[in-house]
């Protein structure tokens, strides 16, 4: 039986490539440069399976890739998928839930602590040769332990962040989610609160909700006005969950104390983005899951999900909107 032709649209370790080649006919790609949407579009016409990272799987691509049966996303998110178009084309989409939970939760705590304690600012202060005296009261930060944190989006990653905050840092944890998580409430000693109440009471607000039509600009001018003046926003979900213009305004007008951001409305950021000039903002390049071990595990999952489906086995890790 002829092997199914597949495409891998992002460089992954040789061991995983060899696994795919053992089961499938792998379309050659030039991984010495960034693989673009156009590169994939040009080679998708005879392909039955694909592994991608952030490539948009839209109607245009699906109309060319008429043989496609499955597209596996390396990440847990899948806002690059046009779900309706994929359903119409009969293409299964898979993702990688559960694999990056601890890694992202660790990074969220790093952003939270770095922002509260002004670590990146202090690093620049010392390395810039400005530490001239022992007393530096103007460099004091905010406490983390024993404070209140509100988590918006209580999925797997949210639970791991809650565990770290509650058990590790003795923080009072509340959360807002579209459904109650009573098991997590009991296990971790956390409480459910309406979003407005959570925003008004929290010293730290952590965004971990997926990007949907309902969560686009979930945090806007109104929401920032509800937060404490000494509160900090942490966003490790998706950039468009936050109205960035409103966030910049809230920071400039000192309606909130700071922000730790891993995601943005436009990625990479424009060079003139005001966030780049703010000392009370800690920024990272959408890399919360960025460890080699985690990335390799994500890629292994995506490859196995694709091969499994093409070989007629029961699909796993199908995105929720395509189940049933």
Positions annotated as catalytic residues are: 238, 267, 286
Torsion angle of alpha carbons 289, 290, 294, 299, nearest 10°? 100
Burial class (CB in 10 A: 0-12, 13-18, 19+), 1: exposed
Contact 9/54 with Cβ under 8 angstroms?
A: no
Residues 6+ apart with CB under 8 A from 104: 157, 160, 236, 288, 289
Contact 104/289 with Cβ under 8 angstroms?
A: yes
Task: Give the CA distances from residue 1 to residues 158, 163, 304, 311, in Å, rounded to whole numbers and listed in that order.
Answer: 45, 49, 19, 11
- What is residue 277's DSSP assignment? G
Torsion angle of alpha carbons 253, 256, 257, 262, nearest 10°? -110
Question: Rounded CA gap, 46 and 3, in Å?
Answer: 12
The pair of structure tokens assigned to 197 is 């109440």
Question: Rounded CA gap, 115 and 257, in Å?
Answer: 9
Question: Rounded CA gap, 308 and 50, in Å?
Answer: 12
Question: Rounded CA gap, 25 and 8, in Å?
Answer: 11
**Host H or E run for residue 260:** strand 258-261
Contact 256/231 with Cβ under 8 angstroms?
A: yes
Task: Give the CA distances from residue 235 to residues 141, 169, 202, in Å, rounded to whole numbers and listed in that order.
Answer: 19, 19, 15
């Amino acid at each position: 039986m002829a092997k199914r032709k597949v495409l891998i649209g992002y460089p992954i370790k040789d061991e995983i490539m060899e696994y795919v080649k053992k089961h499938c006919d792998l379309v050659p790609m030039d991984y010495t440069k960034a693989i673009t949407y156009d590169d994939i579009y040009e080679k998708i016409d005879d392909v039955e399976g694909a592994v991608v990272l952030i490539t948009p799987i839209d109607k245009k691509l699906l109309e060319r890739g008429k043989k496609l049966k499955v597209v596996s996303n390396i990440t847990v998110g899948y806002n690059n998928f046009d779900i309706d178009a994929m359903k119409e084309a009969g293409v299964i989409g898979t993702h990688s839930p559960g694999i990056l939970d601890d890694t992202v939760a660790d990074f969220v705590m790093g952003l939270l602590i770095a922002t509260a304690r002004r670590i990146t600012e202090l690093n620049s202060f010392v390395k810039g040769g400005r530490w001239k005296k022992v007393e530096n009261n103007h460099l004091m930060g905010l406490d983390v332990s024993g404070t209140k944190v509100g988590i918006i989006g209580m999925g797997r990653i949210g639970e791991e962040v809650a565990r770290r905050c509650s058990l590790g840092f003795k923080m009072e944890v509340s959360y807002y989610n579209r459904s109650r998580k009573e098991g997590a409430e009991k296990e971790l000693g956390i409480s459910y609160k309406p979003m407005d109440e959570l925003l008004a009471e929290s010293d730290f607000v952590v965004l971990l909700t997926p990007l949907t039509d309902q969560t686009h600009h979930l945090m806007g001018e109104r929401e920032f006005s509800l937060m404490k003046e000494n509160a900090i926003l942490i966003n490790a979900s998706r950039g468009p969950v936050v109205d960035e213009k409103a966030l910049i305004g809230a920071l400039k007008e000192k309606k909130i104390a700071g922000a730790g951001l891993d995601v943005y409305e436009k990625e990479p950021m424009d060079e003139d983005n005001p966030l780049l000039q703010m000392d009370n903002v800690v920024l990272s390049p959408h890399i919360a899951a960025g460890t080699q071990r985690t990335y390799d595990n994500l890629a292994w999952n995506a490859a196995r999900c694709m091969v499994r489906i093409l070989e007629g086995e029961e699909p796993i890790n199908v995105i929720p909107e395509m189940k049933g």
